[in-house]
Amino acid sequence: MKVDHLAESNVAQLIRGVIHGNLPGKANSRKIVKFGGILRVIKSDEARDWEERFQAAVAFSARNLHTIPWKKGIPLQLTAEVYYDSMRQDLEVELLKDALQRAGVIENDRYIFKVMATRRVDKNNPRVEFALTKFKDRV
């Protein structure tokens, strides 16, 4: 797992990284459990495991690299190359957006104004390669 924080002068990239393993789809990564007699819908073990690995990678990088030069309200663009181990999964990056928020990289994923995602297959090395940059609207 590798997450790099980049200086603001470096092509306006705020963070880039690679997280190994299949990125679970948010819609298909839920399970129903019973807590105190009440049924609840929670993330699957696979989704929670992927998110924990993401958070660990970000925490490790934050201790060893520069802080992220991002301020609240600045629109962002997420670029992702998602390598699945087969053609079975749909391309979906919602869990990645949630993980960026939960890890404290961004305050809220609503600041991601544009998502550019590409689906690929790598049977031996499923992973997500991503970059978060400042969104530049070409109006």
pTM over 0.85: no
Q: What is the CA radius of gyration of the chain?
A: 16
A 10 A CB-CB count for 127 gives 20
52, part of any domain: yes
Residue 83 in any domain: the answer is yes
139 domain residue, yes or no: no
Q: Report the CATH number that the domain containing residue 75 is assigned in CATH.
A: 3.30.1330.70
pLDDT in tens, 78-134: 999 999 999 998 999 999 998 888 888 888 899 999 999 999 999 999 999 998 888
Which structural domain range is residue 130 located in?
2-134
10 vs 79, residue with greater confidence: 79
Q: Residues 1-10: what's their mean pLDDT?
A: 42
| pLDDT value for 93 | 94
Q: Is residue 111 part of a domain?
A: yes
| Tokens found for residue 53 | 């690995």
| Any domain includes 89 | yes
Please tell me the total count of domains within the chain: 1
Percent of residues, the chain, with pLDDT higher than 90: 30
